[in-house]
Amino acid sequence: MGEDTASITLTVVNDTWHLHFIRTQSGEPYPLSDTVCNVIDEYEKDLTDEELYEFLAHHNIMKEFEDAVLML
């Protein structure tokens, strides 16, 4: 078994944020994995701006999100 790794994809859909979360034990982010991953947890949810902010703050990834948006 590999190391737990989470992959998060955010897309904008009709004025909401669509979150797709996948956690695997591959040690590599799911979209980049060359092998079949052992998916442990997966969910999708539409979020408001406030819910997205809470999610990013809770997981301490606000800075990474801001940096990614600036690169667009």
3-state secondary structure of 2: coil
pLDDT score for 4: 78
Q: How far is Cα 8 from Cα 47, in angstroms, rounded to an integer?
A: 13
User: Which residue positions in the chain have pLDDT lower than 70?
Assistant: 1-2, 26-37
Whole-model pTM over 0.85: no
- What does the angle CA 30 – CA 34 – CA 37 come to, to the nearest 5 degrees? 50
Alpha helices in 1-72 (DSSP H): 49-58, 62-70
**Cβ count within 10 A of residue 18:** 14
